[in-house]
Amino acid sequence: MIRRHLPGLVCLFFSIFLLAQPLCALETAPGVTERTGERVPLDALFTDETGKSVALGALLGKPAILSFAYFSCEDQCNTVLSNLASSLGRMSSAPGDDFLVLTVSFDDEDTRGEAAYKKKNYMSAAGRPMDEGAWKFLTGDKTSIEALTGAIGFGFRKTEKGYDHPAALAVLSADGRIIRYVYGSSYLPADLEMALMEAREGRITASIKKAARFCFSSEPGGRAYLVSVLRVAGLSTLVVVAGLFIYLKGFGRPGKKDKR
Amino acid sequence: MDAKETKERIVGAPTLFAVWAALLGLTWLTVDLSGKGMAIFVLAAPFLIASAKAFLVVDYFMRLKYEPSIFRYIFLIVFGTIAVVSFLVYQDVAYRQ
Amino acid sequence: MAADNTRGIREGYLASEPGKGFIASWLLTTDHKRIGILYLFSILSFFLVGVVFGLLMRLELISRGPTIMEAHTYNAFFTLHGVIMLFLFIIPVVPSIFGNFLLPIMIGARDVAFPRLNLLSWYFYMAGALLALTTLIIGPADTGWTFYAPYSLRTGSSVSLAVFSVFVLGISSILTGLNFVVTVHRLRAPGMTWFRLPLFVWSLYATAWIQIIATPILGVNLLLVMAERFFGIGVFDPAKGGDPILYQHLFWIYSHPAVYIMVLPAMGAVSEIVPVFARRVIFGYKAIAYSSIGIAAVGSLVWGHHMFVSGFSYTAAVYFSLFTFFVAIPSAIKVYNWVGTLYKGSIVMDTPFYFVLAFIFLFSIGGLSGLILGALSVNVHLHDTYFVVAHFHYIKFGGAGFGMLAALHYWFPKISGRMYNKRVANFALVFLFIGFNTLYFPMFILGYEGMPRRYFDYLPQYVLWQHVSIVGSWILGASIFTMIGNLLVAAFRGAAAPMNPWGARTLEWQVSSPPPKENFETIPEVTRGPYDFREGA
Amino acid sequence: MSKPHDISHRDYTGAKLGMWLFLFTEFFLFFGPVLLYAVFRFRYPHAFIDASLKLDAGVGALNTVILLTSSLCMALAITAMQRGRKGLTLFLLALTVTLGSFFLVNKYFEWGAKFAHGLYPGGEALAGNADGTAIFYGLYFFTTGLHGLHVLAGMAIIIGAALMVHEGRINSTDFVKLENTGLYWHLVDVVWIFLFPVFYLVR
């Protein structure tokens, strides 16, 4: 009886998985909800690092790399920005001429003074000459921040110590459409180059989903210790491998002992 | 070889009832103690009692006591793995804060 | 021993089982050899599907911009290529095919400990495999084979089904592992002591333990992802106070040891082939046996090194680096013992041995590139570039894949009772080797120059090496199909193989080819080690 | 064809070794959520204690007693089978299943009460909650739900074994299937022995 109906039951059981869709689609969660192909709010007003108030639409006009940060962040935002700066330095197309970089603070208490300070640091970190207009550091009020982060699908949350937020860039076309996202806190120059090429052609593509990378405000800074441990481990492995090789070559002669 | 092993040891009903009574006693003890005493005790006591209960069930109801020693070694491997894995995950979680 | 090669192929296990039709005698069999054949055909079919996906992904890159597919199709293709190649091919291939076929014969048993459970695990494997392929039809997952939270929690594509299929495959893997452990413990022939076990059995035994211990953790992790998607329980969802890094812990607790599930049995097969063609006792038998166990034990504790970049504590990273260093030791022991065996052996060159040489060469490149990745990636950005892709293809395909092909060419005469055309096999191997290096070596260069992985498009400066790599993929594809075609022809039309074509000393070569239904007329009494090549032994 | 190393259906030790290995994979299955519980309890101690206080330890204790008693019945059933007392075995197995169903009924009411208060994943009392309470209930429902499924599976297996006892396929000389059934049921019990303090008592 049961045996006869078993295939049917099994099919029924599996069909649950076909029908079910995720129930949780929370917009305010730290994480990125992709809105590829949609347009960012061009009329949202931000203040640039010189204190000038500008609409987002007036800033664009070229493809742009958009990154989010908050300026009191002590660890991961700095990693994101300095990695972005070093990638900009190694790219073949020129920031300013071929594309723009926008860094928007999502903390409405950040000021243009902090923005100017950050700008000075990271522009010099890029290690290549760039005009003043190539990389903008923007601050804004709550409504414009929420309009922009909402349009991008960038979810963040305030905590006691700062903000929890994802590490990701968005690449925009000249007319403000979202071309795709680049995830993570370090970026391959070639990856940015390709995304910008797609932005120039106005070709909307799929993003590469990578390991979740979050910036939790509670994280400790600095991983120099870890890096050195890794290096020591790698080098010792090499030394041991070389040592074993020399040992076997010089003294091993295993054939003599066992082969009678 | 097989003939010997099929002659299984029979665990008598009195033994089983005694184990059952001990288990009920420990259950009463753990409920009674819950939330009392020092913080470390609140965490440790229920788990120690639970381990004691688990060993009673495993040894007598599941007859591990009467099986060949290989079963015990496997048991140790499994709980050793659980301990080490917990320790390593803890190394991440505890120091991330 | 009474068995000899005059017993025809029709009298071996391949003959229909009495009272059953042809189909029932295969699909309802409990004979470990027939189940091995079921796995052989199903796994190789999925392998070819995976190869075709790989070739199409390469073909897409023949010109810049979308050529034959769009970006999201490409994303779906690499997810499926990864899932098929890892979960359907490289994890089960050696234990399920060769382990099933050979383990009982090698230890002198008539079958595994639980023959019906063995058949059931094949059905679980097929169910999981078909579910995974179903995701292709109903809208493939685009998360990559790791299903990392929180993407896998939110994305609308058929992640639930893909995750469930991996869960089912996990059950199959657990049941096979459990069966092997009990078989090795309980069914060894009289005189088959632990240290007379062939090294292949040792490696299968170690692998089986990893399968039993690590797979359930993946299982519960996948159950948690499903619960998260259906009910939103919140443990991996940062919006509810959960922690996606814990997903990565539970995922890599399984998936790093899974790398050893892939490589250990292939190493075991190599340890079997090397002494046979060197005609001498393997150098350091106990060292190899213990190193299998060592890899299994230490390899289970190094999962954290996949997570160094995902924001986890550096106190933990210190432990994991330390263990990563330790796990290199048993692997190195194996390689040196193989070389030690070959040294001063009287080597007989023959097809399986050529495969072993290719294995050792490619696996060494894979290992060395891993060290480079560890030591350099801090200065040069190699993470998420083609360098990583090249590295793991050298390890998984060049290592485990070539090990499997070596095993296939070594045991083929025993399994089918016929001999393949060695000239065609050697020819295919040479081209496979050339194609492999033409395909993957340029990826090291591309990766060093910064080409990001997993992308369907590339910049003009990469054209040259991309094209070299694509040509390599055609050579590789053609030689794989030639190789498998050669074996298929041999399986039906090849000349009858002798009982022991390679002059090996392990038990499976002491029965007829193909083996009789219950393996042995009388259970043999074992009186010597598995690699005793002395005259008259 | 009975030779010393034939694939014997009498290799009791082998059969039980296989069963034990399977049980260990089940332990690992439950180890996952318990590990997550430990991590999150460490991270959100106050929320976890508060949430735990809302669970009724009395109901949990009652369920513990029910499962322990059913385990006793199962163990007694094996002893009875070894002594060849078929009727008693069947009676004890029936008692085991009945106690198992009591456990589930109890669990049903307990879950129902939580649902009534909106304390379930996605429920109104937990909506937008990120201080750890939602995680506690998420883990609570996941783990006890998984355990409940095991209870259900265990009951089905015991009924199957009882049918085999009735037909005589399990008898006083060949009862390893009943022993393995028992092992599975005791596993369900052992898992609960740990889950009970984890969710109800560690405050």
Q: Say whether pLDDT at C5 is over 70.
A: no
- The residue segments making up the domain with residue A57 are 31-215
Which residues on A lie below 8 Å from D130 (Cβ)?
Answer: 157
- The residue among A216, A152, A140 whose CA lies nearest residue A185 is A216
Q: How far is residue A152's CA from residue D67's CA, in Å, rounded to a whole number?
A: 53
State which residue of chain A sits closest to B96, comparing Cα positions: A219
Residue A65, beta-bridge partner list:
A101, A171
Contacts of A250 in chain C (CB under 8 A): none
Tens of pLDDT along C439-461? 999 999 999 888 888 888 888 88
Q: Which two tokens stand for residue C166?
A: 């991996």
Residue D6 covered by a domain: no
Contact between B27 and D68 using a beta-carbon 8 Å cutoff: yes
The reply to whether B41 and B86 lie within a common domain is: no
Angle made by CA atoms C372, C377, C378, in degrees to the nearest 5: 130
- Show the domain range for B72: 68-97
Q: Do A142 and A199 belong to one domain?
A: yes
Query: Is residue B43 domain-shared with residue B75, that is, in the same domain?
Result: no
Nearest CB among C308, C343, C456 relative to A226 is that of: C308
Neighboring chain C residues of B92 at a CB cutoff of 8 Å: 245, 249, 304, 307, 312-313, 315-316
- Contact criterion met (CB < 8 Å) for C245 and B94: no
The pLDDT value recorded for residue A11 is: 43
Q: What is the pLDDT of residues C316-364, one digit of tens each?
A: 767 776 776 677 778 888 888 888 888 878 888 999 999 999 998 998 8
Q: Does C271 score more than 90 pLDDT?
A: yes
Tens digit of pLDDT for each residue in A144-179?
999 999 899 888 877 766 787 888 899 999 999 999
| Full domain range(s) for residue D49 | 12-201
Task: Read off the pLDDT band of D5 (50, 70, 90).
Answer: very low
CA–CA dist C6, C22 (Å, integer):
24
Q: Are residues A137 and A239 in the same domain?
A: no
* φ/ψ of residue A181, rounded to 5: -110, 150
Q: Which residues of D touch C234 (CB under 8 A)?
A: 121, 134-135, 138
* Predicted pLDDT of residue D44: 85
- The A-side interface with B (CB below 8 A) comprises 218-220
Tokens matching residue A52: 């000038």
Number of domains in chain A: 2
Residues of chain B neighbouring D196 (CB-CB closer than 8 A): 30, 50
Indicate yes or no: CB of B89 within 8 angstroms of CB of D35.
Answer: yes
Q: Same domain for A150 and A231?
A: no
Give the per-residue pLDDT at D6: 42
For residue A153, the number of C-alpha atoms closer than 13 Å in the C-beta half-sphere is 19
Predicted local confidence at residue C356, as pLDDT: 94
> Is pLDDT at A250 greater than 60 in this prediction?
no
Q: What is the pLDDT of residue D47?
A: 87
Q: Would you place residue B8 in the very low, low, confident or very high pLDDT band (cuts 50, 70, 90)? A: low
Helix (H, G, I), strand (E, B) or coil at C154: helix
- Cβ neighbour number for residue C166 with a 10 Å cutoff: 22
Q: Sorting pLDDT into bands at 50, 70 and 90, what band is C145?
A: low
Residue B60 sits in the same domain as residue B76: no
pLDDT of residue C220: 93
CA of B61 vs chain D CAs: smallest distance (Å): 5
Question: Does B93 contact A at CB distance below 8 Å?
Answer: no
For residues D130 and C216, the model is more confident at C216
In a shared domain, residues B50 and B89 = no
pLDDT at C27 over 50: yes
CB contacts of B2 in chain C (<8 Å) are none
Average pLDDT on B70-80 reads 84
- Between B34 and A21, the more confident residue is B34
- With 0-12 CB in 10 A as exposed, 13-18 as middle and 19+ as buried, what is C248? buried
The reported pLDDT for the residue numbered A2 is 41
For residue A65, what is the DSSP state?
E
Q: Closest residue of D to C112, CA-based?
A: D7
Partner A contacted by D127 (CB < 8 A): no
Contact A118, A137 (CB under 8 A): yes
B91–C249 C-beta distance less than 8 A: no
Chain D nearest CA to A24, separation (Å): 8
- How sure is the predictor about C66, in pLDDT bands with cuts at 50, 70 and 90? confident
Of the two residues B46 and C305, the one the predictor is more confident about is: B46
- Please write the tens of the pLDDT for every residue from B24-74: 999 999 888 876 766 667 777 888 888 899 989 998 999 888 888 888 888
Higher-confidence position of B4 and A62 = A62
- The whole-number pLDDT of residue A9 equals 44
Whether A106 and A172 map to the same domain: the answer is: yes
State the CATH number of the domain containing residue A185: 3.40.30.10
Contacts of A159 in chain D (CB under 8 A): none
Q: Do D3 and C190 touch (CB under 8 A)?
A: no
Q: How confident is the model at residue C433 (pLDDT cuts 50, 70, 90)?
A: very high
Is D105 in CB contact (< 8 Å) with chain A? no
Same domain for B60 and B29, yes or no, is yes
Q: In whole angstroms, what is the distance from residue C432 CA to residue C472 CA?
A: 9
Give the Å distances, CA to CA, from C156 to A21, A34, A170, B40.
6, 11, 21, 45
* Structure-block tokens of residue C477: 């594809």
CB contact under 8 A, C235 and D40: yes
C256–chain B Cβ distance below 8 A for any pair: no
Chain C residues touching residue A20 (CB < 8 angstroms): 160, 229-230
Say how far residue A186 (Cα) sits from the centre of its chain.
Answer: 7
Q: For residue D46, what are the CA distances in angstroms to A96, D41, D188?
A: 51, 8, 30
**Are residues A23 and D122, on separate chains, in Cβ contact within 8 Å?**
yes
Say what the pLDDT of residue D63 is: 94
Give the pLDDT band of residue C274 (cuts 50, 70, 90): very high
A157 and D122 within 8 Å at the Cβ level: the answer is no
State yes or no: pLDDT of A214 exceeds 80. no
Centre a 10 Å sphere on the Cβ of residue C300 and count the other Cβ atoms it contains.
22
Average pLDDT, chain C: 86
Chains that touch B (3 or more CB pairs under 8 A): A, C, D
Torsion sign across C-alpha atoms C43, C48, C52, C58? positive
Write the residue in B70, B77, B96 that is nearest to C312 by C-beta: B96
What confidence category does residue A231 fall into, taking pLDDT thresholds of 50, 70 and 90? low
**A1 within a domain of the structure (yes/no):** no
Q: Cβ contacts (< 8 Å) between C124 and chain A: which residues? A: none
- Neighboring chain A residues of C318 at a CB cutoff of 8 Å: 225-226, 229
Tell me whether residue D2 is in a domain: no
Q: Domain check: are B76 and B50 in the same one?
A: no
Query: Which residues from chain C sit within 8 angstroms of residue A234, using beta carbons?
Result: 371, 374-375
Q: Are the C-beta atoms of A91 and A101 separated by less than 8 Å?
A: no
Q: A238 and A152: one domain?
A: no
Reported as a pLDDT band with limits 50, 70 and 90, residue D178 is very high
Check: CB of residue C199 under 8 Å from CB of residue C229.
no
Which residue in C174, C231, C243 is closest to D25 by CB distance? C174
Q: Number of structural domains, chain D?
A: 1
Instruction: Using CB atoms, list chains with 3+ pairs below 8 Å to chain D.
Output: A, B, C
Contact C314 A226 (CB under 8 A): yes
Query: Would you place residue A257 in the very low, low, confident or very high pLDDT band (cuts 50, 70, 90)?
Result: very low
pLDDT score recorded for residue A220: 34
Lowest mean pLDDT among C76-90, C160-174, D116-130: D116-130
**Better-predicted residue by pLDDT, A5 or A27:** A5
Q: Which residues have C-beta within 8 Å of that of residue A194, sequence separation ≥ 6?
A: C452, C455, C457, C458, C459
Closest alpha carbon within chain C to A20:
C230
pLDDT at A185 (0 to 100): 76
CATH number of the domain at D106, please: 1.20.120.80
The first and second tokens of residue C452, run together, are 């990001």
B97 interfaces chain A, CB cutoff of 8 Å: yes
- Whether the pLDDT of residue C238 is over 70: the answer is yes
Tell whether D64 is within 8 A of chain B (Cβ): yes
- Give me the residue from B34, B54, B85 closest to D201, CB to CB: B34
Q: Collect all residues of chain C within an 8 Å Cβ-Cβ radius of residue D120.
A: 231
Comparing CB atoms, the residue among C185, C217, C312 nearest residue B92 is C312
> Residue A104: which of A170, A27, A182, A195 has the closest Cα?
A170
**Among C202-216, C372-386, C455-469, D156-170, which is the least confidently predicted range?**
C372-386
pLDDT at B88: 82
Pair A241, A195 in one domain:
no
D19-69 pLDDT, tens digit each: 999 999 999 999 999 999 988 888 888 888 888 888 888 899 999 999 999
Neighbours of A43 (CB within 10 A): 10
Q: Which residues contact C313 (CB under 8 A, 6 or more apart)?
A: A220, B91, B92, B93, B94, B95, B96
Question: Do residues A79 and A168 both lie within one domain?
Answer: yes
Please indicate whether residue C515 or residue D7 has the higher confidence score (pLDDT). Answer: C515
> What is the tally of structural domains in chain B?
2
Return the residue of D nearest to B6 by Cα.
Answer: D12
Computed over every residue of chain A, the mean pLDDT equals 74
Are residues B44 and B14 located together in one domain of the fold? yes
CB B74 within 8 A of CB D21: yes
D1 in a structural domain: no
The predicted model gives A82-87 an average pLDDT of 88
What does C337-386 look like in DSSP terms, one character per residue?
HHHHHHTT------HHHHHHHHHHHHHHHHHHHHHHHHHHTTTS--TTBH
Rounded to the nearest angstrom, the minimum Cα separation between C39 and chain A is: 22
Gap from B29 CA to chain A (nearest CA, Å): 40
Residue D156 touches partner A, C-beta closer than 8 Å: no
Place of tokens 């790599």: C469
Q: Are both B24 and B38 inside the same structural domain?
A: yes
CB contact under 8 A, C241 and D5: no
For the segment C147-202, what is each residue's pLDDT rounded down to a tens digit? 776 667 766 667 788 888 889 999 999 999 999 999 999 999 999 999 999 999 99
Q: Which residues of chain C make contact with B96, given a CB cutoff of 8 A?
A: 311-313
